[in-house]
Every structure is written in structure tokens, then in C-alpha cells.
Structure 1
Amino acid sequence: MRTELYHGGLLNRCNLHLHLHPLNLCLGEARVAESLGATIFEQSPVVRIEHGASPDIAAELRPRLEATFPQLRGTPLEHAWQGMAGIVINRIPMLGRLSDNVYYAQGYSGHGVATSHIVAEIMAQAIAGHMEEFDTFAACRHVRVPFGDALGSPLLAAGMWYYQMLEH
């Protein structure tokens, strides 16, 4: 597909080792968990749903898609997804503990599929009482973006753009 923005690409006809399908990963992990004795509550009833504004993801995506690949102009989008990316300034996931039995991990900076698996191992070790790796991450100093969400998100976007430009 022609575009002025990219100079090359990789066509992977076999899809052997270069692509990850998140749904298949999740289904595979569920099978393994069940084989190890875990119970998965797939049909659990929803107790409450809090509705917020539903952005039109396709409308937000289309201008960038068509600027990158003009020949796709007008092509319907079959699937669209949106999620919040937990970006931390130093790119080190934030691990912590709120109480004896409440742990948290966040801030994968766009690398959650891979990083969350590593962090899950560290969290499991911590819950089992082996705290060394957990404590290493928990001790990392994280800086809050100044001025909260109002100015913090634009500052974060500007910083990400700056570092992206350094790579080119």
C-alpha cells in the first residue's frame, strides 16, 4: 500500500513469530489457568454499568488513516477500539501496595501486553512473600505531570512527540 509517510514495511505471510493476537493470547491463558485449577467466571452477572460519553473512534481515526493511506479514503472500518494508555514519564511500570492484601500495577506506557506478563510474575512472587523484584519496582521514583489532567495530558503528549522526533 502506498504512503508518503513510510519508506518500507514487512510482509509476513506466515505470521509465525512477528505478531501477537491479544484475544488468542487471552483465550490461551484462560485454558492454561483452567488446566492448573483456576475457575473462570465467564457468565458472571453485571451488577452495574456506568455510562459515559461514547466517542466515535472511527471518526477520530479516519483523518489519520486517510492521511497515511489516501487510497483507503471512504473504506468502512469494521472494528474500532479505544483504551486509556497509562503513560509514565520514566517508562517504568508503577508497582505498589495499598494494604497487606491490595497490590497494584499500572503505567505500562503502551507496552502492556508484553510488560504485564512480566509484572504478573513479579506480583505473584510478591504475594507469595518473595518481595525483592517487587520492592525494586516499588522503590522507583515517579514524577507526576504538573498541573493535573488539564495541562498534564497536553504536556505529556508534547513530551512524547519531542522524543519521537529525536528518533527520526
Structure 2
Amino acid sequence: MSAKARFLRKLQDQHPRSEAFDTKAEADIAAFRLRISQLQASMDTWLAGTEIRTEATATVLVEFLIGGSAFSVPGITLHYGKRSIRFTPIFLYGPGVTGCIEACLHAPDAIRSLYRLFMRSGRQNDWTWCPAGVQGGDPARFDEEAFFMMIAPLLPE
């Protein structure tokens, strides 16, 4: 066995990869991180060949329902000219939902909240969404069609 192989094996033994989590919160945080990364990959695919560029960002959340723990999760920003839409994680747990992202338009003259996406809502395990400010109701399934409807304000009128 080479020195490199021994080193890498020893390193792996120091930090074994395990999908087992000590708490549901740890599993939900890991799922939120993964699902946001997958969401960005979908956006990259949907936007291929356009002048809109995506940027990965980082957000620190403090979740009081799990003892005030702070943790980092990725966010996503779409850029077109002087406008952007930021998909910013805002909480892990809310009434009937797990993992919430707020989509806001940032234009030279204003910042406007547009939509909220939910990693899980009710019995839905796929991304769902609703307009910002809507309380309750039944969030709609998030897909490519919903995505392009959401980002329409990115283009100037």
C-alpha cells in the first residue's frame, strides 16, 4: 500500500462518513443543504444558454425550535443586468413546513418579496411554493414552469 493510500485511509478512519444522524434536526439540516444544492443544479440546467447566471451564496440560520442552534445553508442568486432574484433560506421549521426559502427581487429602485418555497409542506416531500405573504392554504408543486413564472420579474419591463 502506498503512503498516499495509507494516509487517505487513516484520514477516512478519523472522520467516518455516516448517514446516521443523532437527531431529526441534524437530518433535516443535511436534507435542506442537499435539496438547495440540487435546486441550484436544476436552475442551472433550466437556464442553460441564457444570459442569466446563478451564484451560490451562504446563509447562517438560527433555529430556536432546536435550542437556538446556528448552522449554515446555501442560498442561490440569479443575476441579469442590474437585477437579481435571491433565493434565501429563512427558516428550517415553521407551521406545517420544513425548510423555507424566500425569493426576493432586487432591482435598482426596490427590493420586493415574491415567493416562498418549502422543502416539505404537509404531506408533500417535493418543493412547493406560494406567493409571499400568503398564510395557510395549499402550496403548489414547484417545477420548471413555476420557476420561469417566478423569475419573470428578473427581466425589466
TM-score range, shorter chain: under 0.3
Calculate the TM-score normalised by the size of structure 1: 0.24
When you count helix as a share of all residues, which structure comes out higher?
Answer: 1
Larger relative contact order (CA 8 Å, sep ≥ 6) = 1
| Larger CA Rg, structure 1 vs 2 | 1
When you count strand as a share of all residues, which structure comes out higher?
Answer: 2
Calculate the TM-score normalised by the size of structure 2: 0.26
